[in-house]
A and B are shown apart, each in its own frame.
Chain A
Amino acid sequence: QKEVEQNSGPLSVPEGAIASLNCTYSDRGSQSFFWYRQYSGKSPELIMFIYSNGDKEDGRFTAQLNKASQYVSLLIRDSQPSDSATYLCAVGDGEKLTFGTGTRLTIIP
């Protein structure tokens, strides 16, 4: 049974600070790693993906992957109130995705 673990939160971060979201996974054969943002009542929206060890930056978002530790994280710089949402970590094996339970992030103005 492949597992993806996330701290459910809620995680509260002051506006303008860095939000750090973490995810661990059980399957060492996992190939691809994704972060989705889900606003309340909406469907998940893909915001980042990463395939190789290291960091990948896109605007205010940075995804970090450490396959040896089976750990993937998402950093959000200069957090804005609009970043308040649930963030889902997903891990792919080449055929399908396994999702974590999500971390609820609240940005405090």
Chain B
Amino acid sequence: SAVISQKPSRDICQRGTSLTIQCQVDSQVTMMFWYRQQPGQSLTLIATANQGSEATYESGFVIDKFPISRPNLTFSTLTVSNMSPEDSSIYLCSVDGPLLGSADTQYFGPGTRLTVL
């Protein structure tokens, strides 16, 4: 499976500010995804990052709040804008795996733990 890194690994931010999270993969991948995992909860998909086009957002998530870039096949960023304490969460990127040609097989990065004060 691909080696996935995320920066920063954790951060503490003030409300009203923005944070950009980076996701880097050691090989080219077709699909990259961004998830949120709030304390004690499961994973919620924020958006699918598409190379060369705009991200596809899930219901309840909007581009103004979570702008996403995907400049190439190995890198993506997620920005959490105008943060509030409710944005405190773990943010995870994932990539589709080469296994069996399935777009569903996903591997996760280590995550970014965000605390908003």
Contact = CB atoms under 8 A, between A and B. Distances in A.
B42 A97 contact: no
A21 interface: no
Interface residues of A, number: 23
A34 interface: yes
Interface residues of B, number: 22
A46 B107 contact: yes
Interface of A: 31-32, 34, 36, 42-46, 49, 51, 88, 92-102
A88 B42 contact: yes
18 contacts: A34-B105, A34-B106, A42-B110, A43-B92, A44-B92, A46-B1, A51-B100, A88-B42, A88-B43, A92-B102, A92-B103, A94-B104, A97-B106, A98-B45, A99-B42, A99-B44, A101-B41, A102-B42
